[in-house]
C-alpha cells in the first residue's frame, strides 16, 4: 500500500526535474527495455532490486547505493526530452524509481534519512551520460604488482574514516571552503594508492567534479584529466586482477568497474566487462541478479551486502550509459 501511494510522489518528482531544471537534450533510445537493451541490464537491475527488498537486511551499504542510483536515474531523466515518460524507456525509469522509493521508505523507517540525502538532492548535477573512449592509459605496467599485491592494498590515502568525513563536508554552511580545505587535496595527492583506497579516491573526485562548488576549484577539463589519471591507475590493478583470475579479488574488481564506470570510461563500460561480472554473479550460490520466487534465495544469502550494493550502482549506471 505504501508503495502504491508513493507512485504519485515519484511521478511528481520526475516532472519537477523535467520542467523546472534546465535539461540537456539527448538521443532517445527506441528499443524495448526487455528485448534489445544490452545484456538485459534492465531485467538484472529489477531482479537485484527485488532481491534486495526481499532480503530486508538494511544497512549503510544498501542505503547509500539506493540513494546513489536514484540520483543517477533522475539525472538521466532530466537530460531526456519531456516525452520520455510516454515511452518504454520512460516506463522503465518510473518502475525503477518507484521500487527504489519503496525500499528506501523501509530503510528510512529503520535508520532515518541518509546523512548525504541533501547532497544528492541539492548539491550535485551530472552534465551528461556520454561514453569516453580511448582516454584510459592501458599500457601501464602491472605484472610487477603481482608479487606483493595483497600487502599493497592497505597502502595510500584516503582511509575509510577520512573518506566518510570528506563526504560529510560536502553539505552544510561554508561547504565550498570546507571542500577546498579538506577534500580537494585528497584527489590531487600523488602518494601511491591501491585497492579500495584508490577507488574511494576516485569516488570522491566524482562527487567533487559534479558538486555545485566545483567551478571554484578548477575547469571541467582539469577534473576530467584527474579522472583519467586516477582511473588509468585503477585500470592497471584491474588488469592484474583479471590476470590473476582469483575469487579473492572479485569484489574489488567489481568496485573498480563500478566507480570508474561512473565517469563513462569505455574500458569499464563495455559488453565484455559486464558479461564477465554477470557470469560471476550468475554462477554464485545466492544469485541475487536472478529472478526468484519468494522462497528462492537461501536463508544464509545476503543481497544487501557491500558487493551487491556496488553491483546495483554498476548495473544501473551501465544501463543509463548504454541506452
Domain boundaries, the chain: 2-122, 143-268
Residue 23 pLDDT class (50, 70, 90 cuts) = very low
Give the contacts of 222 (CB within 8 A, at least 6 positions apart).
Answer: none
pLDDT of residue 150: 86
- And the C-alpha cell for 104? 528506501
Cβ–Cβ < 8 Å for 298, 286: yes
Q: Which helix (H) or strand (E) holds 53?
A: helix 41-55
Cβ–Cβ < 8 Å for 232, 285: no
What does the pLDDT average to over 144-152?
A: 88
- Checking if the pLDDT of 9 tops 90, the result is no
Residue 68 pLDDT class (50, 70, 90 cuts) = very high
Query: Over the chain, what is the mean pLDDT?
Result: 81
What does the pLDDT average to over 99-105?
A: 93
Greatest mean pLDDT range, 63-67, 126-130, 150-154, 316-320: 316-320
- Checking if the pLDDT of 35 tops 60, the result is no
Q: Specify which residues 124 forms β-bridges with.
A: 211
- Checking if the pLDDT of 169 tops 80, the result is no
What does the pLDDT average to over 153-172?
A: 66
- Checking if the pLDDT of 73 tops 90, the result is yes
pLDDT of residue 304: 92
Determine what percent of the chain is predicted with pLDDT higher than 90. 43
- Checking if the pLDDT of 143 tops 50, the result is yes
What does the pLDDT average to over 47-54?
A: 93
* Other residues' Cβ atoms within 10 Å of the Cβ of residue 20: 9
- Checking if the pLDDT of 20 tops 50, the result is no
The 3-state DSSP class for residue 133 equals coil
Greatest mean pLDDT range, 9-18, 140-149, 227-236: 227-236
Residue 43 pLDDT class (50, 70, 90 cuts) = very high
- Checking if the pLDDT of 269 tops 90, the result is yes
Residue with cell 553539505: 171
Greatest mean pLDDT range, 38-47, 125-134, 273-282: 273-282
How far are the Cα atoms of 66, 79, 291 from residue 103, in angstroms, in the given order? 8, 25, 17
CA distance linking residue 29 with residue 214, whole number of Å: 31
Q: Which of 29, 35, 1, 36 is nearest to 93 (CA)?
A: 29
pLDDT: which is higher, 227 or 175 = 227
- Checking if the pLDDT of 105 tops 70, the result is yes
pLDDT of residue 34: 45
Q: Which of 151, 224, 214 is nearest to 179 (CA)?
A: 214
Amino acid at each position: 500500500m505504501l508503495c502504491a501511494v508513493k507512485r504519485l510522489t515519484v511521478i511528481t518528482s520526475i516532472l519537477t526535474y523535467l520542467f523546472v531544471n534546465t535539461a540537456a537534450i539527448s538521443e532517445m533510445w527506441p528499443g524495448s527495455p526487455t528485448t534489445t537493451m544490452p545484456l538485459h541490464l534492465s531485467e538484472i537491475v529489477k531482479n537485484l532490486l527485488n532481491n534486495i527488498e526481499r532480503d530486508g537486511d538494511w544497512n549503510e551499504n544498501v542505503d547509500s547505493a539506493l540513494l546513489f542510483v536514484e540520483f543517477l536515474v533522475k539525472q538521466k531523466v532530466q537530460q531526456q526530452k519531456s516525452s520520455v515518460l510516454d515511452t518504454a524507456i520512460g516506463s522503465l525509469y518510473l518502475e525503477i524509481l518507484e521500487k527504489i522509493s519503496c525500499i528506501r521508505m523501509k530503510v528510512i523507517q529503520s535508520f532515518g534519512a541518509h546523512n548525504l540525502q541533501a547532497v544528492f538532492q541539492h548539491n550535485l548535477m551530472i552534465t551528461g551520460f556520454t561514453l569516453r573512449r580511448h582516454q584510459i592509459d592501458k599500457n601501464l605496467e602491472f605484472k610487477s604488482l603481482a608479487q606483493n599485491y595483497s600487502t599493497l592494498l592497505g597502502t595510500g590515502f584516503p582511509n575509510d574514516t577520512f573518506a566518510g568525513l570528506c563526504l560529510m563536508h560536502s553539505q552544510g554552511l561554508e561547504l565550498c571552503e570546507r571542500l577546498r580545505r579538506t577534500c580537494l587535496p585528497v584527489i590531487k595527492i600523488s602518494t601511491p594508492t591501491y585497492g579500495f583506497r584508490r577507488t574511494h579516491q576516485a569516488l570522491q573526485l566524482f562527487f567533487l567534479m559534479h558538486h555545485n562548488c566545483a567551478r571554484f576549484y578548477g575547469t571541467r577539463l582539469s577534473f576530467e584529466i584527474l579522472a583519467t589519471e586516477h582511473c588509468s591507475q585503477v585500470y592497471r590493478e584491474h588488469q592484474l586482477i583479471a590476470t590473476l583470475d582469483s575469487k579473492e579479488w572479485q569484489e574489488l574488481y567489481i568496485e573498480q568497474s563500478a566507480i570508474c564506470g561512473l565517469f563513462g570510461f569505455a574500458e569499464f563500460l563495455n559488453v565484455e566487462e559486464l558479461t564477465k561480472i554477470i557470469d560471476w554473479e550468475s554462477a554464485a550460490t545466492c544469485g541475487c541478479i536472478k529472478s526468484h520466487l519468494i522462497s528462492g534465495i537461501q536463508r544464509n544469502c545476503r543481497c544487501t551486502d557491500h558487493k551487491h550494493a556496488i553491483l546495483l550502482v554498476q548495473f544501473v549506471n551501465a544501463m543509463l550509459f548504454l541506452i
